[in-house]
Amino acid sequence: MSGAIRVFLVDDHHFFLSGLRAELGAQFEIVGAAGDVDSAVEGIRRTVPDVVLLDVHLPGGGGRAVLESVRQSHTDILFLALSVSDAADDVIGVIRAGARGYVTKSISPPDLANAIRRIHGGDAVFSPRLAGFVLDAFHGELTGPIDPELDQLTAREREVLRHIARGFTYKEVARRLHLSVKTVETHVSSVLRKLQLSSRHELTRWANDRRLV
């Protein structure tokens, strides 16, 4: 398994951690696991994994604290946020702090494995929930000075997100919109960039609510 993606798990629920290990252990190299912010930062710096599965709610500062500490020294480690939370401010907060995607813990093991591979391949992973939040955030009229590059979605991006929000996989989205899967991925990555960099009021508000600017 020399080419296996090296994955680090961060979650404070031991049952969930052991479940993840069992589900992912066959396909990925699990290089470590941690249950709080400090040991996670230390472990990730030591093992330098490809992908970190990061629980949003962690004792000691939350997933965001891990993201910020690690990304100061290691900008190439990719993060996939994982949470039971359905709250927009949690989701938007970790994405803006640098996570490449967000899935809920109810995701099926094969879907989770796919998401890890996709993240590792450089793409963004949007669950239907996240797509819905993004559409919500980029919804409505803009006030004040805007950067059209960052503060608005193109019609195509909106269409792609809508399909993801409806529960279609990237492949299905591509088929239905007569695009290549690669193009769908490009659109999603572009949306992720806007999500992280846009100064749209809704996004900054969500982030500010959790002190996650």
Partner 1 sequence: MAQSPPQATRSRQTGQTSAPQRETPSTRPAHPGLPSRGRLRLDALAFTRSRGNRVIAGVAGGLSERLGVDPVLTRIAFVLLTIAGGVGLVAYVVLAFASEEPGPRRPAIWREPTRRRTFGFALVIAGAMLLLREVGVWFGDRVVWPVTLAAIGSAVIWARGSDDDRGRWLQSAQSGNSIETLFGDRASIPRVVVGGLMVATGMGYALATTDTLAAAGSALLAIAVTTAGLVLILGPWILRLYRALTEERRERIRSAERAEMAAHLHDSVLHTLALIQRADAPMEVVTLARRQERELRSWLYGQPAPLEQERLGTAVEALASRVEELHAIAVDVVVVGDEPLDERSRAVVLACQEAAVNAARHSGVTNVSVYVEAEPDGITAYVRDEGKGFDPDAVPPDRRGIRDSIRGRIERQGGTVTITSEPGGGTEVALHLPRERR
> What residues make contact with partner 1 under the rule CB under 8 A?
84, 86, 106, 128-129, 131-132, 135-136, 139-140, 162, 165-167
Among 135, 176, 137, CA closest to 157: 135
> Based on CB atoms, which residue is closest to partner 1, 86 or 149?
86
Least distance to partner 1 from the beta carbon of 73, Å?
35
Least Å distance, CB 14 to partner 1, is 18
The alpha carbon of residue 30 and the mean position of all alpha carbons in its chain are separated, in whole angstroms, by 19
Least CB distance to partner 1 at residue 149 (A): 22
Q: Which is nearer to partner 1, 44 or 112 (CB)?
A: 112
Q: Which residue's CB is nearer to partner 1, number 17 or number 165?
A: 165
For residue 213, what is the enclosing H or E element? none
Residue 202 corresponds to which tokens in the numbers above?
Answer: 């809704």
DSSP, residue by residue, 27-45: TSEEEEEESSHHHHHHHHH
CA 113 distance to own-chain centroid: 14
Residue 132 CB, shortest distance to partner 1, in Å, is 4
